[in-house]
Amino acid sequence: MSILRVENLTKTYQSGGRELTVLHGVNFSLEPGDTFSIVGPSGSGKTTLLGLCAGLDHASSGSVYLNDIQLDKLSEDERAAVRNQYVGFIFQNFQLLPTLTALENVMIPLELRGEKGAQKTAQSLLERVGLGSRGHHYPTQLSGGEQQRVSLARAFANRPKLLFADEPTGNLDTDTSATVIDLLFELNREAGTTLVLVTHDLDLAAKTQRVIRIKGGTVVSDTQVATSI
């Protein structure tokens, strides 16, 4: 069974009294454990596609099936419940809650699921990403690379079946990016999670098993990659 299936996905917006098509007839499917990149120029529809796949927005037409659940048939609350159950996120701007410590940020998905031992699990994940001694620090007290490592720990906290990463190294320098990417793929491989990655970085995309390229809202290529990771 595919973990993610996208069928004839189209997204249009009304802009200045005109209809603007951001995505047009996108199709693909992913199996559990696949690593997958979406690449293309700015404005090509990459982030829009990621949001639709994660149930953060509704398509104008077409369907998304996440773990065989048809997202477009669900209410907003129902889609949120599916995300909490199956999905992890990593964002370019980290999306950590500034009023919570690193440890508390990692605990959030565990607490939302009502899991026991959330603090112990979160501490273990922080140690896994090399921040075991930084759990009491707030996001503003952490470097960009440290914040992204906290977001990695948080993303894997609920053992997601699918991990969506939107430009995860976009705000990081080259050396820090390399550290974060190594951790991302290590954690992903250990957890057996399906990874969907949006990036401008073609070297990063080449680390995944498959790359689709989008231009003008349309998939123009879909390539299997011989990865080195």
Q: Which domains does the chain have, with CATH numbers?
A: 32-60+75-224 (3.40.50.300)
pLDDT in tens, 105-115: 999 989 988 88
Span 30-79, pLDDT tens digits: 999 999 999 998 888 898 999 999 999 989 999 999 999 999 999 999 99
What is the model's pLDDT at position 66? 96
What is the reported pLDDT for 174?
87
Residues of the chain falling short of pLDDT 70: 226-229
What pLDDT, on a 0 to 100 scale, did the predictor assign at position 214? 94
**Residue 42: per-residue pLDDT:** 85
Phi and psi, residue 160, nearest 5°: -70, 150
Q: Tell me the whole-structure pTM to 2 decimals.
A: 0.89
Can you give the pLDDT at residue 195?
A: 95
Long-range contacts of 9-12 (CB under 8 A, 24+ apart): 9/49, 9/52, 9/59, 9/61, 9/62, 9/63, 9/64, 10/59, 10/60, 10/61, 10/62, 11/45, 11/48, 11/52, 11/57, 11/59, 11/60, 11/217, 12/60
Predicted confidence (pLDDT) per residue in 65-76, tens digit: 999 999 999 999
Hey, what are 108's tokens? 């959030």
Q: What is the dihedral of CA 168, 166, 67, 212, to 10 degrees?
A: -110
pLDDT of residue 226: 59
